[in-house]
Structure 1
Amino acid sequence: MKQLYIKQKLLSLAEQFKVKDAHGNDVYYVEGSFFKIPKTFTIYNMQDEEIARITKKVFAFLPKFIVEMDGKQVITIKKDFTFFRSRYTIDAAGVEVRGNWWDMSFQVFQHGEKIGQVSKEWFTWGDSYKVEILKDEMETLIIALVIAIDCVKEAQNTAAAAGSV
């Protein structure tokens, strides 16, 4: 089992953060497009190779996020039409999220087999998540999924704050 840690800096205007291993070594880094449309987050390995890109679709009736890896769409997260409570659907080929992904406490399964687990680290500045990878070949997909879910949460919080003014 491999453990990775995602820690976003509180109030970071550059929208950059790193993914570290259990020893504190950088494994990936993430760059967001601060003032660009469409809003994107790109995940790179430490050799500066792009491993995934998360894009918020601009011309969609409801919020929709697409994760691409190797030029292929692998994950879609979209908001469902509901009247009372926000609800999102995650569509990833053979991958299922079980648990409370809104609170970043969930398990990731592929065809019924547990391949990862995510938990929020408490009492830290900014958002911090512990990601446990149980199947090495699924590491980049799980990291992309966690960062995409965090993007969805941030977009929802921003929309809620803008609506409450």
Structure 2
Amino acid sequence: MRQLYIKQKVFSLSGKFTVKDQEEKDRYYVEGSFMKVPKTFSIMNTSRDEVALITKKVFSFLPKFFVEVNGQEVLTIKKEFSFLKARYSIDAAGIEVRGNWWDMNFQVLQHGKVVGEVDKKWFSWGDSYRVQVIDEELETMMIALVVAIDCVKADESAASSNASF
């Protein structure tokens, strides 16, 4: 079992941040595309090889995000049509998210077995998450899932703040 920590910088326009392990060593680097269409987040290992890619679909009635790990599309996060509260669904073969993923407190299951847990750390400057990876073969997917959900939340926040003007 491995614990990883994601701490994003609040005022980073480019969306660059690192994922650290328990000894505070860098494990992954995440870089977002700034002012680029489509919006993407690239996740790289310590050798700077891309191991995952998150892409926001450009021409879609409702927002949709694709997550690729090692060149294979593993999951899709899409907004569902609703009148009151924003609702999203996660589509992935054998992967299920249980808990309050909007508030970043959830478990990730594969075929009914818990393979990881995520919880948001409160009272921190910027968003900070603890990612507990139980099945280390799914480590990259877990990191990509957390970054993708955070990207969806940031996109929703930006859309609602633009709508209020």
Q: Structure 1 length normalisation: TM-score? A: 0.98
* Shift in Å, 1:70: 2.4
Partner of 2:100: 100
State yes or no: 1:58 paired with 2:58.
yes
Q: Which whole-Å CA distance do the structure 2 matches of 1:52 and 1:75 have between them?
A: 11
Report the alpha carbon displacement of residue 122 of structure 1 after superposing the two structures with TM. Answer: 1.1
- 1:86 aligns to 2:119 (yes or no): no
TM-score normalised by L of structure 2:
0.98
What pairs up with 1:1-165 in 2 under 5 angstroms? 1-165=1-165
Kindly state the Cα deviation for residue 69 of structure 1 after the two structures are TM-superposed. Answer: 1.8
Q: Structure 1 unaligned runs (5+)?
A: none
Q: CA RMSD for the aligned pairs?
A: 0.6
One-letter code aligned to 1:105: N
Measure, in 2, the Cα distance between the counterparts of 1:102 and 1:134: 21
For structure 2, which runs of at least 5 residues remain unmatched after alignment? Answer: none
Deviation at 1:14, TM superposition (A): 2.3
* Deviant stretches of 4+, over 3 Å: none
**What is the total number of aligned residue pairs between the two structures?**
165
